[in-house]
Structures are given as C-alpha cells and as structure tokens.
Structure 1
Amino acid sequence: MSELIFRTEELEDKQITDFYVSSEYEQNIVDKLKAPSPVLLVGSRGVGKSFLFKVSEIQLKRTFAESKILPVYVTLRSSPLIKDTTEEQFRYWIMARICAAVFRAVRKSGKISLLSNASFLSDCNVSLNTSEIDRVINEYEESWKGGERKISVEEIPNLDDFLDFIQDLCESFEIKRIVVFVDEAAHVFIPQQQRAFFTLFRDLRSPYIKCNATVYPGVTVYGDTFEPTHDAVVINLIRNIRENNYVSIMKEIVSRQVTDSKLLDNLSKNGENFSLLAYAASGNPRYLLKCVSMAEKMDSSAINKVFRDYFRGKIWAEHTKLADRFSGYKEFIEWGRDFLETEVIPKLRETNDKYLKDEVGKGTTLYFWVHKDAPIEVKESIRILEYSGLLYEDAEGIRATRSEVGTRYMVNIGCLLAAEAVPSTTGMDIIKKSDIRRMNEYGMTHASYKRLEGCMIKNGSSVLMQHLAKNIDKLDLTEWQKKKMHEISIDTIGDVIQAKESDLKKAKFIADVRAKKIRNAAVAAVYEYLLG
C-alpha cells in the first residue's frame, strides 16, 4: 500500500507547496483568505480547508518583506480537552492561544527578538507577558486530567487592550496587517464553545487585524451575535464535479503525492477507473487519496473492492460512530443514515436503472430535494450528514413540483454507486448521463420524517474521560502505526495525548524522523476523533 498522507497536520511546509495544485478555483479561495475581509471557509472533513489555510500562510510568509502582511496560524483542535467551563472562560483560552501565536509569528518574521521572561513591547500602551500566557494555555489544556483548579487569567488581555496592542505592534514595526488563520474553530458538537468563538471572531477586527476560520457545514452554531453572511465572507469549499477540468485536477492532486512508479503507471493505464474514483470522491481529496491507496492496481476488481469496503462500509461506519461519541445526537445520526441508506439512495438507484435500461426521463440523477418547511429535526439530521461528507448541499431556493421551494442536495457519489451490483461497469454511465434538473423530491410532510417527531438533542454529561480510555484501534491510523504504539504500551487515546517523541523511539526501528511522523499522525487522529 502506498504511503500517501491524508491530513495537512502531517505535512511540512515544503510538502504543502509541492502538493498544492493551483487551479483557478483553489487560488481564488487563497486570494480571498489573504484579502482584508474576514472569511469563513466551510467544508466537510477532508475537503482541504486546513490545506488551503496553510497554502495562504506560506504565500504570505514569502511575500512579507514586500506586502508587510503577517500571517498567524492558530489551531483550536485541542478544544475537546478543555474541561467544561463558561463561555467567558473559554474565550480567555482562545485569546491566549491567539496571543501566543502572534508572538511566535512576529519572532519568526525577524521583526523582534523575544526574551522568554520579558514583557513584550514594553514601550507599547499594553504589555503582555508571554510566559504567563503560555501558563494559562497549558493549564486550560491540562484541565482534562481532573481536579478542581482555578485558572488565573489576569495576564490575558481583554479585547480592547488586545486590539490596541496589535495596532502598536503594527505601527512600531511597519506591519500593514495581521491575518489570523483559525483552524478547527472550536468543538463542533459543543455549541457553547462555538458561540464563544464566534462572538470573539466578530469583534476581533480592525484595520490592523482580520481573522479567517474553518468551519464544518451544518453543525456549526454561530450564536445570537454573529451573522455569517453579514460578518464574514462565506466560502463553501465544494469542488464542482461538472467542471470540464475536474478529473484532471483531482488526478494532479494525487500525482503530486505518488512516488511509486508502479502506481503512477497503473494510474496512467487505467484512466477510466481513476476517473470513476475521482467522481466517487465527490470533490474530497482525502476520500480520493484513501481510495487510490486501497486500489493500487487500479483494475476493475480493485475498484469494485474500494466501493464495497470503503463506500459501502467504512464511510457509513464513521458516521455511525458519531452516535457513540456524541450520544445526545444519537437519534438524529441514526435517522439520517437510515433516511439516506434505505430511502434516498434506493430511490435514486431505481430512477437511474429505469433510465439506463429504457431511457425513461431526462437522464440519471445524483440529487434529491427537501422542502424548505420540512421539520427542523430533519434538517438537523441532514446537517450532520453534510458534516460526515455523505451528502452536499448543491443549491438553496430551488423550485420543484408545483413551484414549491426547497434545497437540492447531491448524494456522495461513491455511496450512491456502491449500491450498484458492479460499480466499475455502470458507474461512469450514471455520472455522464446525470442531469442536474432531475431530482427526487421530499416534501414538507414526507412519511419518512415521522420517526423523528418529538426528538430532541440531549445535553448529556461530558464523556471525555470515557473517550480517552478507548483503544487506539479506533483512530484513523495505519495498522503499522498502531502496531508500533502497542509495542510500547501506548494503548489508549489518553496515552497518545501524553506520549512524547522520545517514548515512541523505544519501539523497534523507530528513530527521530519516524517518531516525529508517527506522533504527528497520532495526535492529529486523536483530535479528529474527539472533534467528531
């Protein structure tokens, strides 16, 4: 199996630059991320949100001497480890995180030298103590270990003081603007964390600083004070499978990573099979990279096995696991899977089979439509399906039968084709003959909705410690990586969080480079698991 890398967190800056395919679509997003207006980059897991953030950061670093625009990258992926606290306390942690990231970016830019125990810019109107800020961050992020403790936050600036500090910093060192890239904007299944973040996101702006944030579709709670379309530029990261250059761009994304000459040869010889996998990935690079790594021979037998094992099995299992991690959403998660798997996909397949056999209708279809006044519980379940990448919102305000208005969704193409007897035989026909105007409709009172009536999201107690006690086999890691950690008794998710590179080097045949790679991959997998 080829050693392809699926997560941005595991890539070095040089690899990100080498792997970046600068299509017009991607570069247009990058340009908006570097522009003055705050941006929300919305997309399901694996579509490349973090990757484009890192590309933007790298490009700004390279042009800093001329543009005077300083990029600052902040990740909030450790938010699941923050012990339950108030929204106000959570904002202190976010502010501390941003302060620390600004210090690091300024220091690395060469603009100023920081002494670890000295106040920063003592001649500014506001002085910030870097060691105290690091202390606050560490105390918050170790709060999951238990024990009651009061975290002193006196050294963390309030919003006005921080904005004054940023202005002083920019004016003192001829920095035009600071662009903050906030990745993993708070735990997606803890609404109070999200509300706290977006309240700060809205207010954290001036001529000298702007923020961008990555968010997931559907499951993001913005709170009462933040209006996405008014307070930011919203970009939905969905690659259009109908674009003429779609397959060629997806092939380039894969080819940039592949070093195995045999796999490159297989990709070249089996172009039609690769195209089928590219469409099955529905614009998601992580899905495509995983599929290619599973189907190295790229022949029909390997392709059909990918549809059977990945799109009919693993991808559904990942969605179902959400109910285990977030029991308050259990009924919505289970109904969503049943609705898509036993109602929507069979009906789409029936429509497609009729067209392929007798050319009944305008063409095949990948789409279904839901009435705008469908029950809120249905919309909640559909939003979680979007988060999982099992479907994608294609367009709002679409008129259907009797001029009713609703939203059109595209089903994950891999999941749709996995229902075919032999996907490698019928798959490309279904895709090429699909018509966007053709969609199955679900009105405001469809019979499928009845089971969800009266369901409510349950705010259960924190289950963090239960998750940390679970076996690392639940993480999205290679079997070899899991084996090496088990060798040295790193058996639970909690063990991974606390393991150091020096611990990993105790395993056989693991030296500095491999230890770093394994730890990066393991920690990224842990946070992805905890974040949902």
Structure 2
Amino acid sequence: MADDLQEEESGLLLAAEECPREEFGDYHSFTRYERTIIQRIMAHGPVLLRGGRGSGKSALLIESYLEMKRSYSSTIVPIYISLRHLPLLRFEGVEYEAHFCRILAGEINKEFRRVGAASFPITRDVGALLQALEANAREMQKRIVLLFDDAAHIGRERPLEDFFDIFRTISTSRISCKASIYPGVTKFGVRFDVFNDATVIDISRDERRDNFHEIFVEILIKRFPQVYRKISSSRSIAVTDFCRLMGRAVTGNLRSFVFACNSMNEFEALGYPELTKCFLSLSGNYFWPLLEEVAPKLGSYEVLVQPAQEIAHIIFSACARRRVSYVLVHRDIMQRQLKIYEILEYAGFVSKKEASRAMKSGGRGVIFSVNLCNLLEMTPGRRLTSELAQNWIDGTDEPFELRDTNSDYSRIEVPVPGVEQDLAILGKPIATLTKSNAYPYGLTEDKVGRLEGAGLDTILAVAEAPDEVILGIYGVGQANLRRIRDVVHQAIWM
C-alpha cells in the first residue's frame, strides 16, 4: 500500500490549484513580467485573467491571494474560491445562483474564521450576499478581494452568463472581483460588458519577447535540477537556447513544459538526438491524446474534435513542407470555425499571436504559432538539427497562409453543434481515468478497482460521492482521497 501511494504521489502535480498551500512556494516561481501581472490582479477593480490550459492562470491567482495575505493583512481580506463544483456545470438561472451563493458563502466563512471575523450568513440570493459582504467590509474597515478560479468551461457556456451577471453585481468599491477565463469564453451575458466592466489581462507567452525564456529557466533550475545539469554540460545546446526552444515547442504552456522536462529525466545526456526523441514522444503520446481527453468535456462542441484533428494535420503538414512554424488563417475561416481553433489552442496545438495581419494573397487573417513537437513529426526525416532548432528559436520565418481555396481544407466536413447538453465525461466509466496517454496523471488500476468495488463505477458517481464514502473504502486514506478528487476534477474541468 505504501509503495502504491508513493507511486501515485511521486508523479507531477496536476495543476496549481491541487498544490497544498504550504508547499506552493516550493513548486512555483514568477518572473518580473508575471510579478507585474500579480500587482495588477491585486489592484482595485474587477479583473479577468485570460489564458489557455496550463498557462499559469491558477498559479497567478493563488500567488496573488498569498501575497495579499502576506503584505496587506491589515487592509485586505483575500478569498480564493475554486469553482470546480458540479452543480455550477449542471444548472443555470436561479438554481445556479443558489448553488453559487452557497459555495461562495462557505469559502468566505473559512477565511473569516481565519482572521477572527464574525461568521458569514449562508444565503441563496445574490442581493443578500452583496449586502452581507458590504456590511462586513465596513465593519472590518477592509477591502474584500474575491478570486474566482475555473469560472469558465467551454463545454457548458450557458451558466457563464449567470456567473458574469453575479460578478458584475457584487463588484463594488469595497468588493474586488477577479476571475480566470479561457480565450474561448465569449458568452458574457447581456448585462456584462467585458471592455467596461473589467480589466482583461492576457497572459499568453510570446516567444518573440526577449524575456520569453526566463520562466522556463527558473522552472528548470527549481524543479528539474538534474535536467538543468545535463543541459549545462551539453556541448550542443545552451540552457537559454534549450528553454527558448522547449518553451516554443509547447507554445509557451507551462504545464506541458513541466511534463516535457519530466520525460527527460530518463536520458543520461541531453543533445539534439534526445530532444528529437522527446519532441516525437510528446507529439504522439501527449498532444494528440489531449484531443481525446478534451472531446468528452466539450458538450455540444464534441462533434468538432474530428474536424479539428483534420485541420491540424493540414496545418502541420503544410508548415513542415515549407519549413515554417507559423500559420496565417484567413478571417473568413476564423469567423465560421472559431470554436475549432479555440479547441486547438486549448490543447496546445497552436497559439494565437496576432488578431489581424495582412495576407500576401489578399485580405487579413489571424496568425498562430504552431506546436513544434507536432511540426517535427510531419517534417521530412523527423530529425531535429541545430540548424532547424535555430530557425525555430529565431522565429523569423514567413507564415503559411491558409484560405478557403486550399483544396484539402475545402473537403473537410464541419458539423453544426447541437443544443447544450451534459458533458459526456460524466457518464464515462471510472476506468477511463486509469493512467494512459490521454490521462498521464491518472489513477492506478488498484484505486480504480477499489472504487468500482464500492459501486462508484462512473466519473459522475465518484465526483458526487461524499468524502466519507470514499474514505470508507478499504485501502483509501486521506492522501488517496485527495489524489482521486484531483484526477476527477482535472478530467471534468477544462
């Protein structure tokens, strides 16, 4: 049992929100650029923090929360609220509001007990919630800062309108609201004006910036010292170039970078042959399976995953033939198929760099950088050389231009998404979450068997089961419970 638990706990942390607060500083560091973002989050006024999967949104929110506790305890009461609660995905309107108010009031109570404040009333009404928040802020003579994490879910967009309505309602001079969202979030509701009712901070990392590599160097030194030493002793590639290349390879995604570095521990030395193996392994065993993982989370948009795969193949094949690492997609395509590109961006296949650029062939389009791991897989010879790596690091190539007139592209059939529906992931067997390419952070077969033996045979059943039910299973302790919860949450939420 101890070995089984050690095996589970020795893996990577799934996400920042799963990291114990007392260990958060051991696993996270922030560049000067990110520190400026944290300062903007901590400032007065509502803020929306926008970034893709694994881009560091949760880490920035949590660090802002911890920093406010450290530096402004006499003037600010910060409250971090994870919105990973099933009712918030499954209901809307009055029911959503009631569940939201209950969850928020519970988290406020926890923080108020920590600072010795009076208990906060549990309410199902937003108006009563706001009155209570204002009254407490006046009594304590402090500003209350609410940091909402995982507020958005691409697969269930209707409840988002309810969230942003509440967000706008409870944002006042004494109550500051902050929330993390994905680039694909567009349904803000009729009352919320994203340009006037909040400051939007985009945190995507652009490889064209001089300081692009800094965060990746810090992660390498702090979390992967063995890999850092191997790169430092390499005769073929410098640490800075390695971090620029690998950061560029995963389109600036921190979680994917961590996963890549973890896979490099197996190599005795690191040079271009090992990087070639790493890139190809990530393409086949990490990025393509990500679309398989994402599909059942997308609700009515699940039907778009197949055409997204086909479009990705066209883009990577064309870029590989032309030896370029950027694609410029005509705006007519983007207007019709925006959700497909949001799915590809979420899964780390592409990363938007410019919203509008002139095309040589006429018109304007959106420019994306492409994932170098998938690009290498399509490149003739499938071998990373110092010359190819330097071209990618420099990033000076002209983009491949994608238009409707592309014959392969015009043959792709794109179905129309239906009405919103429950996420397919909820009805999947719990065995779906066994460790695999699609779920690299998954559960062991032993834990899956124990859950199934207790009658918890679907992801929904485990997600809805009270802690005491799971702890009542023989061989499942507190650490196992936390791991099970983390994996299930990661499977459901985007």
Structure 2 residue corresponding to 1:366, chosen from 325, 331, 335: 325
Q: Calculate the TM-score normalised by the size of structure 1.
A: 0.79
SS in 1 for 2:183: coil
Cα deviations across residues 386-431 of structure 1 (Å, max 9, x unaligned)? 1222111101121222662221111123322333311255541331
Aligned counterparts of 1:322 and 1:217: Cα–Cα separation in 2:
16
Further displaced range: 247-256 or 425-434: 425-434
Aligned counterparts of 2:286 and 2:173: Cα–Cα separation in 1:
47
Aligned counterparts of 2:88 and 2:474: Cα–Cα separation in 1:
30
Aligned counterparts of 1:415 and 1:38: Cα–Cα separation in 2:
38
Shift of 1:6: 4.0
Shift of 1:327: 5.9
Aligned counterparts of 2:206 and 2:252: Cα–Cα separation in 1:
7
Is 2:366 the partner of 1:407? yes
Structure 2 residue corresponding to 1:472, chosen from 419, 424, 433: 433
* Identity within the alignment, %: 22
Aligned counterparts of 1:394 and 1:347: Cα–Cα separation in 2:
19
Listed as ranges, the matches of 1:167-182 within 5 Å are: 167-175=134-142, 177-182=143-148
CA distance 1:33–1:453, shift in 2 (3 Å): same
Q: What residue in structure 2 maps to residue 349 of structure 1?
A: 320
Amino acid at match of 1:386: E
SS in 1 for 2:416: coil
Structure 2 residue corresponding to 1:493, chosen from 424, 434, 459: 459
Listed as ranges, the matches of 1:125-524 within 5 Å are: 128=121, 133=122, 155-159=123-127, 161-175=128-142, 177-258=143-224, 262-270=226-234, 272=238, 274-275=242-243, 276-296=245-265, 297=267, 299-300=270-271, 301-326=273-298, 328-341=300-313, 343-352=314-323, 365-374=324-333, 376-401=335-360, 404-420=363-379, 421-423=382-384, 425=386, 427-435=388-396, 438-443=398-403, 446-451=406-411, 455-459=415-419, 461-462=421-422, 463=424, 465-467=426-428, 469-473=430-434, 476-478=439-441, 481-486=443-448, 488-489=450-451, 492-494=458-460, 496-497=462-463, 498=465, 500=467, 515-516=478-479, 518-524=480-486
Contact between 2:164 and 2:188, CA under 8 Å: does it hold in 1? yes
Aligned counterparts of 1:442 and 1:14: Cα–Cα separation in 2:
48
Q: What residue in structure 1 maps to residue 3 of structure 2?
A: none
Cα deviations across residues 126-172 of structure 1 (Å, max 9, x unaligned)? xx2xxxx3xxxxxxxxxxxxxxxxxxxxx42333x322222211111
Aligned counterparts of 2:342 and 2:29: Cα–Cα separation in 1:
29
Matched residues, number: 468
Shift of 1:312: 3.1
Q: Calculate the TM-score normalised by the size of structure 2.
A: 0.85
Aligned counterparts of 1:187 and 1:432: Cα–Cα separation in 2:
33
Structure showing greater Rg:
1
Aligned counterparts of 1:279 and 1:329: Cα–Cα separation in 2:
28
Contact between 1:294 and 1:306, CA under 8 Å: does it hold in 2? yes
Extract structure 1 runs of 4+ deviating beyond 6 A.
504-508
Q: Which runs of 5+ in 2 are unaligned?
A: 1-6
Amino acid at match of 2:190: D
Q: What residue in structure 2 maps to residue 53 of structure 1?
A: 61
Aligned counterparts of 2:238 and 2:472: Cα–Cα separation in 1:
43
Cα RMSD of the aligned pairs, angstroms, is 3.0
Q: What residue in structure 2 maps to residue 38 of structure 1?
A: 46
Shift of 1:207: 0.6
Shift of 1:221: 2.6
Cα deviations across residues 70-94 of structure 1 (Å, max 9, x unaligned)? 1111111123x55743422112212
Shift of 1:51: 0.6
Aligned counterparts of 1:198 and 1:82: Cα–Cα separation in 2:
13
Q: Which runs of 5+ in 1 are unaligned?
A: 115-119, 121-127, 134-154, 353-364
SS in 2 for 1:246: coil
Contact between 1:199 and 1:225, CA under 8 Å: does it hold in 2? yes
CA distance 1:186–1:394, shift in 2 (3 Å): closer
Aligned counterparts of 1:483 and 1:414: Cα–Cα separation in 2:
30
SS in 1 for 2:284: helix
Contact between 2:426 and 2:459, CA under 8 Å: does it hold in 1? no
Cα deviations across residues 343-399 of structure 1 (Å, max 9, x unaligned)? 1111111221xxxxxxxxxxxx32111222336332221121112221111011212
Is 2:485 the partner of 1:526? no
Amino acid at match of 1:103: N
Contact between 2:155 and 2:299, CA under 8 Å: does it hold in 1? no
